[in-house]
Structure 1
Amino acid sequence: MTAFLDNILGGLALGAVYALVALGFVVIFKASGVLNFAHGSLLLFGGYLTAVLHDDLGFAGALALAVLTTAALAGALDRFLLQRGGQDAHSAHVQTIVTIGIDIVLFTDLARRIGGDLLSLGDPWGDSVTRLGPLTVADSRLAAIVVSAVVIGAVFALFRYTSWGLSLRAAAEDLEAAALMGVRLGRVRAGAWCLAGALAALAAVFLAAFPAPGLERTTGQIALNAFPAAILGGLASPAGALAGSLIIGLTEALVVGYQSDLHILGEGFGDVAPYAVMLLVLLVRPTGLFGAKGAARV
């Protein structure tokens, strides 16, 4: 029973971090219709900056600068590489393909810089643990749950109570209608990309924290497990991204925790479990758990 509860808590912590990444996918898609396949490399960039700066600036200063720099980089990529292609549905497909090229360039450079090293981000939790009854929980996991809950709550408030959030919702419904109503789509897109970059840089801290050995060049690829979470919940639904992330996090933690009992599925099934769950759900709900069915006029 203790092992089961430990897996559940670990899954919730992992799902909370995935939610930060999945929200990035969702806000970009809502604002522009683009699937950002460079998101994992942006996360790796933010984590790398935190790792190389924390000795000079301290953890808080390094993280703040990494979040701001990653947000600025994401916004610049959209402004100077993607928006030039237009903002209609066809352009969004082309821009999605462009993000694959951006990902290759960013990842290649970061992988060269990191090499085979394991980088510490200097987080204040280290390898400390807390006892909760029969459970021994890494402080980094508790911090991941608390910080992610606060940040996600703030993002949802941003969607609900700000003019930018209203503009984002309008753009998600109909880009052309939103433009005719005076919504400045360029600014909405820029804000979405910057927000996604900031969330990715923050998520890097917890993906590299104990019990993980540190930041490595594959960390960005691990973060892409949040992509099935965004698809699972429905790409246009922030609430769906949160629900999908928790489902994916719990699934991954339980599969890894009970790997010896699931040997029939093969070694390393935990790596593909998020995608297996996504496919099973999409067979029943092609638009995702919270996705709305489109209406067509005939």
Structure 2
Amino acid sequence: MTKAAVRFMSIFCLVTGMAAAQLPVADLTRIVPRAIAPGKQVRVNCVGQHLEQLTTLHFTHPGITAARTMLPATSVLPARPNANFFEVSVAADVPPGIYEARVDGHFGLSTARPFIVSSPKFAQVVCDGRNTSRETALNVEVNSVVSGDIPSRREHWFRIDGRAGQRILIEAIAERIDSRIDSQLILYDEQGRELDRNRDTYGRDALVELRPQQDGTWYVSLSDILFRGGGEHFYRLRFSTAPHVDFISPAAGIPGSTETYTIYGRNLPGSQLTEIS
């Protein structure tokens, strides 16, 4: 073996040895629960990899704060931090929306994950996971949001009562909050006939529309298109009659200018019916 080859092998071994010695990266995969209303407080669990010795939970809005939860002292151990749990408080004036959260610990600042400040106009429902068939469908009200995790090879079912003349938008919010679900929604009538199905309306998030001609009951199934599931396949499913904006035309403007813009959407107050080709 030549001196050049020996020198190359020595450098190669040195580089690979250095790479193997790098510290782990703190990876925050989800926060449970992942939503809270303004003016409320909730205990959350930060889940991920390499989240040892966490000290702080940061948010991108100053009105969202977190404090460590402590385990009480015992005859053997003093009071100590309760693993990855924090008490999160949201000020009453924080606007509803999606914010970023990161944890700080032994391995530094983690990756960011979405945290939702929910609208007080919508009832918040936590799915217990037992609604995996039409017979066990979860009853939901109009203008509510259901939070849950999809199990592998399963669907989640929901039952909703509608009134004639309503325009109910049923929207999966998953990819937009860093879920792995590629969602599919299927709408059925009370006799089990499929009325509509959808996927990929907003990225990988699905949306179906229910417009009852008479009072009645309808069913909705939610699944991953490949029937994957688990803790990282979470969702928020919104049943809404609130105004919904699809797009604005023109889609851009010049700073300081005054222009006329047209808003296209559904359930818009004072709007006119428009056909788009």
Same fold (TM over 0.5): no
Task: Identify the structure with the greater helix proportion.
Answer: 1
Task: Identify the structure with the greater strand proportion.
Answer: 2
TM-score (ref. length: structure 1): 0.22
Relative contact order (alpha carbons < 8 A, sep ≥ 6): 1 or 2 greater?
A: 1
TM-score (ref. length: structure 2): 0.23
Select the structure of larger CA radius of gyration: 2
